[in-house]
Structure 1
Amino acid sequence: MAKKVILEAGRTFSEFSLLTDYTSKDCNLNNINLKSQLGKLSLGIPFLSAAMTSVTGYEMALALGKEGGLGVLPARLSIKEQVDIIDKIKGYEMGFVEDPVSVRDNATIDEAVRLVEKHGHSKIPITDRNNVFLGLFNFDKYLESNETPAENVLSIMTKVENLPFTKNAEITVKQAKKELENNNYLIVLDDLGRLVKIAFKKDVENIVVGAAISTHKGWKKRVKTCDEAGADIFVIDTSDAYNEFTSKVLREYSKMNLGKPICAGNVITYEGAKFLMESGADVVKVGMSSGSICTTQREKATGRAPMTALMEVEKARTDYFKETGKYVSIIIDGGVSDAGSMIIALSIADAVMMGGYFNHFYEAEGEKYDANMQLTTHEPDIKYVATWGEGSARARNLDRYGHVARKTFFAEGEEGTVENWGRLKPKLKQDIRKIKAALSNTGCMKLKEYHEKSVIELMSPYTQSVVGDTHDMKVKE
């Protein structure tokens, strides 16, 4: 008989509901901070794109990095390919937003909100018919106000005199960087006060990027080369990290003294997580068979419900911290596909890694198809994006799944397509606002506080149907 039989069913994120707590007047979307720590590495937002060849390349790593997240370059790329992408990201130069999206002074708040939803900008310039800059529409400020969508946009406008601006239309990038040391953005006007361009601080800040490695021969050369190029974190990417090989890599990496965090995964048990922590992991990655393209459970009956796995790893982290005083960050990888799942996952995890979610965006590496499933590079025609798992027949990532040779390989992932959601920024910004709104409901202004104070409750299947969705009505299409 098996050593242990667990009869309690595993749990997923959608089975839980977040309870409210007291919210102070200062605990609003403008003041809530989603910064997260992965070892010594700080992230502006707690999101990583998965080390999948259909997801993360230069475009994804750059787009997510500019928003404060982290793209992890797949280990299946050659060392040269990883290094070339890291070089491009670290060499990315700030540029001005020329001809920025704006609204006229006779527009309604609703029109401004529609532009926010379309482009992902949280601030929209307001101009008159001669393009003279009058002020800014701040979406987060609007959410905290009592203004209605039908009111004129000027009713919620922040006036130009209260904003960082310059009338030097010929300002250089170097000069703008100096101005951005104390401001998040800079509005550039001409002598007549007309809007010319905008510079943003996030385009000046260092864009972080991670490099995935395997436990197989050549990993140390990959680490050294990517470190020299400027990689900010290394991720041991294997489907099951509870093994001797991962421990050996962790111990040898520690001796390299690079001063950069190393993440190891994946694991789904208390014992597996504790093993990685004791072997030297700064970050532990959790999940098996919960990814949208993963078939490990179907093929070899191995995996675990993601919330259950996350709770077990959290127990290991708590015990390890009591024993050593070292806090090990946790990343959930798999089973997170929407804002609701992110909110529940982040009650425990320090960050969320997603493949399926990011695969939907234009910046993903997968090929793009039109409505007739014909390859296209014309952005307006894109309806679908190709996706494939690292364990699929297409990727054949033998190292990640522990196959010693191609003759032992069997697929543990699928290949297909996902719906195109357009550019990453608008959808990501929308989901970030939902997460901040949830933190506001709990009275928490930082993720660390949310970890300590949040209360989540398991729902019955019937409760999920009542609380988790509309009912007793026909939804308007």
Structure 2
Amino acid sequence: MAQIITEVSRTFNEFLLLPNRTRTDCSPATVDLRTPLSRHAVGERPAVELRVPFTSAIMQAVSTPELAIALARNGGLSFLHHNRSIQDQVAAVGQVKNVEAGAVTGAATPHSDARPDDMTRPLVGAGVNTHDYRERVPALADAGVDALCFDSSDGYSDWQAEALAWVKKHYPEIPAGGGNVVDGDAFVFLAEAGADFVKVGVGGGSICITRDQKGIGRGQASAVLDVAAARDAYRERTGVHVPVCSDGGLVHDYHVALALAMGADFVMMGRYFAGFDQAAGAKLATRDGFVKEYWGEGSNRARNWQRYGQGGQGLLFEEGVDGYVPYAGDLGEGLALTVAKLRTTMVSCGSATLEEFRSSARLTLVSDQSFQGSHANVALRAASPAVH
């Protein structure tokens, strides 16, 4: 009979952080959000480090060259999508890497021994697949890509392990991540195959219907906690830290803090970035304000032959939908607000670094009534009250 996992599959909405003692030297201005993107020996510098723990999803509706440049300027990294010809993806990478020095601030590494290229070019990643990686990866490497990520709704497969092993053999200098997974066994499988980071999340994205269609997935909080525990055990056993990326299920800004507290080294978001000016979706006016188009890579609109069949076979069923997200303005302004919230949350938890946050954070489960009590419960006024 099937194995039954008795632990409840939990989402971020079911948790809150408990405050810890805040030291006098711990303030939002002193919080250090640097985090590794690539595997490294404990105590050594990773090949790629982010200044803020944010990456944008490998999606047509999200990661444009314009968004990649803006996110790099603010310390994060975008993964340009691969559902197109190799030439088109290479051109998109080149568009980002050709930004001149002086325009990029967040991409520069804080280390004094920084490579010259780190100081003059924005960081950019690229999604790849298990079909044409032998042709696509060399071209992306020549274009100067800083990181690769194998993109699959289910990365616990021999195909992905073989592809990772090939990339690490031929291009060991380029970090290559794997995923997606939802449990510790899958993490170890990809880490031992050579993954430089492992992406966590199946079915939790706002645009994803994998759970409805296939009955596969896991609550994102449970998945991150399980994989992070396996990551820590792997580090203890091997002396190597393989970063964990939480991908999907991040509905509110505070969910980012929860994901990081639960063990993620960085997060990947689609819906969040899709609302900014720099994302690909068209900006449309509605009765209630502006929105931007947003669609999943598993939707018919994406025409993602690399995931769902080649040779004109087409998409047998969808694992994503086509919709809209609220318009969010400029990425720099929006991300600055999210980062400010993250910094103040960490201060309330007495943490000045992400490593300290992961090791000392305390989490409590939330009942449905407690969750409802977390929100405002008054009639909000549309305008200021009259002055008497």
Q: TM-score, normalised by structure 1?
A: 0.72
Confirm or deny: 8 A CA contact 1:238 1:401 kept in the other structure. no
Query: Aligned to 2:134, which of 200, 217, 220?
Result: 220
1:280 and 2:203 are equivalent in the alignment: no
Contact 1:240 1:401 (8 Å CA) reproduced: no
Q: Distance in 2 between matches of 1:403 and 1:286?
A: 26
2:336 is the counterpart of 1:422: no
Q: Is the 8 A contact 2:101 2:121 kept in 1?
A: no
Q: Which runs of 4+ in 1 moved over 4 A?
A: 94-97, 401-405
1: CA distance, partners of 2:254 / 2:311: 39
Q: In the alignment, does 2:357 pair up with 1:450?
A: yes
Alignment of 1:257-276 (within 5 A): 257-276=171-190
Q: CA deviation at 1:405?
A: 6.1
Which region of structure 1 is more displaced relative to structure 2, 308-317 or 252-261?
252-261
Question: Which residue of the partner structure matches residue 26 of structure 2?
Answer: 27
Provide the aligned C-alpha RMSD in A.
2.3
**CA distance in structure 2 between the aligned counterparts of 1:38 and 1:423, rounded to whole angstroms:** 25
**Secondary structure of the equivalent of 1:242?**
coil
Matched, 1:476 2:347: no
Q: Deviations over 1:412-432 (max 9, x none)?
A: 110112121111111110110
Quote the Cα distance in structure 2 between the aligned partners of 1:275 and 1:372.
Answer: 49
The residue aligned with 2:41 is none
Matched length: 363
- Give 1:278 deviation, angstroms: 1.2
C-alpha separation between the residues in 1 aligned to 2:103 and 2:162?
47
Q: Note the alpha carbon deviations across 1:349-386, whole angstroms, 9 max, x for none.
A: 0001000110111111112223379xxxxxxxx81211
For residue 376 of structure 2, what is the amino acid of its counterpart? Answer: T
Aligned match for 1:207, one of 112, 119, 122 = 122
2 CA distance for matches of 1:355 and 1:450?
24
> Is the CA contact (8 Å cut-off) linking 2:296 and 2:321 kept in structure 1?
yes
Aligned counterparts of 1:94 and 1:415: Cα–Cα separation in 2: 38
Residue equivalent to 1:383: 290
How far has the Cα of 1:237 moved from its partner? 0.4
**Does the CA-based 8 Å contact 1:331-1:351 persist in structure 2?**
yes
Matched residue SS, 2:226 = helix
Cα displacement (A) at 1:9: 2.2
Q: Hey, what does 1:311 align to over in structure 2?
A: 225
Is the contact between residue 238 and residue 399 of structure 1 (CA under 8 Å) also seen in structure 2? Answer: no
What 5-or-longer segments of structure 2 have no aligned partner? 39-46, 113-117, 383-388
| Cα distance, 1:270 vs structure 2 | 1.7
**Cα shift at 1:323:** 2.1
> Is 1:435 paired with 2:342?
yes
Kindly state the Cα deviation for residue 96 of structure 1 after the two structures are TM-superposed: 7.7
In 2, Cα distance between equivalents of 1:403 and 1:247: 21
Say whether 1:49 aligns with 2:66. no
TM-superposed deviation, 1:401: 5.0
User: Does the 8 Å CA contact 1:236/1:262 hold for their aligned counterparts?
Assistant: yes
Equivalent residues in 2 for 1:118-157 (5 A)?
Answer: none
**Could you tell me which amino acid in structure 1 is paired with residue 5 of structure 2?**
I
What's the counterpart of residue 275 of structure 2? 360
Aligned to 2:292, what secondary structure does the other structure show?
Answer: strand
Q: Name the SS for the 2:323 alignment partner.
A: strand
SS at match of 1:394: helix
Contact 2:83/2:305 (<8 A) preserved: no
**Equivalent runs, 1:333-348 vs 2, <5 Å:** 333-347=247-261, 348=263
The residue number in structure 2 matching 1:111 is none
Question: Aligned-pair distance for 1:337?
Answer: 2.7
Asked if the contact 2:308–2:315 (Cα under 8 Å) also holds between the matched residues in 1, the reply is no
Corresponding letter in the other structure for 2:301: R
Matched, 1:395 2:302: yes
User: Does the CA-based 8 Å contact 1:269-1:312 persist in structure 2?
Assistant: yes
Equivalent in the alignment of 1:12: 11
The CA distance in 2 between the partners of 1:206 and 1:433, in whole Å, is 25
**In structure 2, the residue corresponding to 1:340 is in which secondary structure?**
helix
Separation in structure 2 between the aligned mates of residue 404 and residue 287 of structure 1, nearest angstrom: 29
Distance in 1, Cα, partners of 2:27 & 2:315:
54
Q: 2 CA distance for matches of 1:337 and 1:404? A: 37
Q: Which amino acid counterpart does residue 383 of structure 1 have in structure 2?
A: F
